[in-house]
Amino acid sequence: MKNWNLEHKKAFVTGGSKGIGKAVVSEFVALGAEVLFTGRNESDLLAAQQEFQSQGFKTHILSGSVTDAAHRSKIANWITSNWGKLDILVNNAGINIRKPTKEYTAEEYLRVMDTDLIAPFEFCRILFPVLQKSGKSSIINIASVAGSFDVQTGAPYGMAKSGLIQLSRNLASEWARYGILVNSVSPWFTSTPLTKEFLAQPEKVDKITARTPLNRIANDEEIAAAVAFLSMDKASYITGQNLSVDGGVTTSLL
């Protein structure tokens, strides 16, 4: 497995204090990367930081919301000042509000869109200079099967994730000349804090697993493994792709 690592890589992960984001940070540091990660909840962020540093890993944290322009600028300035380049960007932070379309308020659906689509677009845009300086960098956007199919989890979420998949394709073509690879990863239902309330309903879980060939819910480490591979130099000829990590569910949704 020589060279299947992330040694000497500088990575930034949004929403890295729990769920898929934390699993990605854990995978990255275990493979040798130095990671900056963010989160809205400062206590969760500090707990995750303490956990990683107690194991001897090199991690850094900045608390704030990805929808806050000042927070995004602070991150860009930190990366520029401390690293001067960025090898890996993982746009993971996301939210969802599940309800019928006619019941959303403008504030609710705009909040989903701002977090799940606009913030990743802005991070790609403002971090372009440091990604370019890497010479061979990767952007991985955490999308969802809901971005390609109706999985009855709310129209705004599906809209945002679909946009994220298309953003990845567009940037892959536009930024290839700068040595920047751009891909998206689309999980199916995964056991995370975001889905905890939904997956606490046995009838929902039964319906999901019945549609899934592997007959179970994913865990966050399984999603993180795919993200780590796409971040490696070994994936240097993969760009503009949407990798579904879905237990085979899209074989029956097609």
pLDDT in tens, 29-67: 999 999 999 999 999 999 999 999 999 999 999 999 999
Q: What is the pLDDT of residue 152?
A: 87
Please choose, from the candidates 127, 125, 25, the residue with its C-alpha nearest in 3D space to the C-alpha of residue 84: 127
Give the CATH number for residue 214: 3.40.50.720
**Structural domain contains residue 237:** yes
Catalytic, 237? Answer: no
Residue 1 lies in a domain: no
Residue 30 lies in a domain: yes
Angle between helix 119-126 and 155-175 (nearest 10): 20
The answer to whether position 72 is within a domain reads: yes
Domain count, the chain: 1
- Tell me how many degrees the CA angle 183-249-121 measures, rounded to the nearest 5: 25
The number of residues making up the chain comes to 254
Using one digit for the tens of pLDDT, what is the confidence trace for 162-194? 999 999 999 999 999 999 999 999 999 898 887
Give the domain extent around 61.
Answer: 10-249
Would you say residue 254 lies in a domain?
Answer: no
Catalytic pick from 104, 109, 157, 237?
Answer: 157
